[in-house]
Structure 1
Amino acid sequence: MEFRDVVRRRRMIRRYDDRPVDPALVDRMLEHAIRAPSAGFSQGWAFLRLEQPDDLARFWHATTPGGPAAPEDAEESAWLRGMRTAPVVIVPLSNRSAYLDRYAEPDKGWTDRDEARWPVPYWHIDTGMASLLVLLTAVDEGLGACFFGIPPERIDAFRAEFGVPGDYLPIGAITVGHRVPDTGAAGSAARRPRRGVDEVVHRGRWGG
């Protein structure tokens, strides 16, 4: 598939059919993820790969507000039911300490790990770019994927369930699977038009 076609076809898929995903394709997604750029080549990321039904059930149990019970909101319940059909979940995690340690090394010129030196948290940004490579690879392989957040109040439960070290923070999670044939845009986001280039690109100065 041409790269421009991959970019144009990428969108969040929230419902999947029951076909399994070839593990080799998941391998490829993660191989591409670690090709993402990272500040100082710190590579402060990790990925929790969940493919077994028991592991997927544990993930949804740990990360769903209120535990295994479906949310009361009808739209959210439909979203959750659709997402739970994914046969693969990948959780990208960022490691702030890897960056603070890397930039305290002699070749970087800083002598401490002061987080105030960082204008933005590049550990999250770099892990986000790695996540986008997972999403694009899924499209290139004819699959669907969706990046979504883990509720802050469920992060401790997620950590405990999967033994995630304290230095690693999940920046979200990615469902992966085969798109159902009738999957289309739905929900409130689908009613929002995509902003055009002229609306978001400023030439020379803001508003130019």
Structure 2
Amino acid sequence: MELSEVIRRRRMVRNYDPDRPVPAETVERLLGYATHAPSAGFSQGWEFLLLDTPEDVARFWAATSPEEQLPTGWLEGMSRAPVVVVPLSHRDAYLDRYAQPDKGWTDRDEARWPVPYWHIDTGMASLLVLLGAVDEGLGACFFGITPDRIAQFRTEFGVPEAYFPIGAMTIGYRAQDKRSPSLKRGRRESPSITHRGNWGNRDDS
């Protein structure tokens, strides 16, 4: 599939066919794509927790879903995905990398960073997984783990404190689902998001 088509077809899929497992070699390819993401200083401060058995996927939803929330609506469809991948950023990999002689910093001061690139780079690696899923004929969805469930998630899967889950991705074969109501807002076109030379100079002005 051409890259342009992959980009145009990418969307968040929230319902999956529970009877069609994703081949292990396909999942391996998707995670391999993630390693080609850019990273500051080539720090590569990302890790991925792969949950690809019914037992592990069930553990994920039990740990991350609000206790009072029943598996209906979007959660019902999402929980049918046979694969869940949790991308984790590793801040210390960046602080350590930039304290090395070739980077010129003499300490690990987080205040030196204009933005937390460990989160940004892990997000870009995750996007390669999402695009790869489209190319493989799969559906995928990136979503957040609510702050009040992160501790439970860590405990359930033994995730060290040094690694932060920036979200999670469901992956599987798409089943019929409904368009998100948010899409009614429409997609912004490039002229409306582009400022030439100065902030006030927009292409659609």
Instruction: Confirm or deny a common fold (TM above 0.5).
Output: yes
The secondary structure found in structure 2 opposite 1:138 is: helix
My pick for the range that moved more, 190-199 or 127-136, is 190-199
2:171 maps to which of 168, 176, 194: 176
Q: 2: CA distance between counterparts of 1:79 and 1:12?
A: 11
Residue 206 of structure 1 corresponds to which residue in structure 2? 199
Q: Which amino acid in structure 2 is aligned with residue 85 of structure 1? A: R
Shift of 1:77: 3.5
Residue 77 of structure 1 corresponds to which residue in structure 2? 72
Shift of 1:65: 1.4
Shift of 1:196: 1.0
Gaps in structure 1 of 5+ consecutive residues: none
Residue 196 of structure 1 corresponds to which residue in structure 2? 189
Residue 42 of structure 2 corresponds to which residue in structure 1? 41
The secondary structure found in structure 2 opposite 1:126 is: helix
Shift of 1:56: 0.5
Q: 1: CA distance between counterparts of 2:99 and 2:74?
A: 44
Gaps in structure 2 of 5+ consecutive residues: none
Residue 116 of structure 2 corresponds to which residue in structure 1? 121
Shift of 1:183: 3.1
The secondary structure found in structure 2 opposite 1:175 is: strand
Residue 7 of structure 2 corresponds to which residue in structure 1? 7
Q: TM-score, normalised by structure 1?
A: 0.93
Deviations 1:66-115 (A, max 9, x none): 2xx535xxxx9301111001000000000001100100001100000000
Q: TM-score, normalised by structure 2?
A: 0.95
Q: Which amino acid in structure 1 is aligned with residue 114 of structure 2? A: P
Q: 2: CA distance between counterparts of 1:15 and 1:191?
A: 19
Shift of 1:190: 2.3
Q: 2: CA distance between counterparts of 1:183 and 1:154?
A: 26
Shift of 1:184: 4.3
Q: Aligned pair in 2 of structure 1 residues 88, 46: CA closer, same or farther (>3 Å)?
A: same
Deviations 1:111-152 (A, max 9, x none): 000000000000000000000000000000000000000001
Query: Would you say how many aligned residue pairs link Structure 1 and Structure 2?
Result: 200
Q: Which amino acid in structure 2 is aligned with residue 64 of structure 1? A: S
Q: Which amino acid in structure 1 is aligned with residue 69 of structure 2? A: A
Shift of 1:189: 1.3
- Alignment of structure 1 residues 115-194 onto 2, 5 Å: 115-180=110-175, 182-186=176-180, 188-194=181-187
Shift of 1:192: 1.6
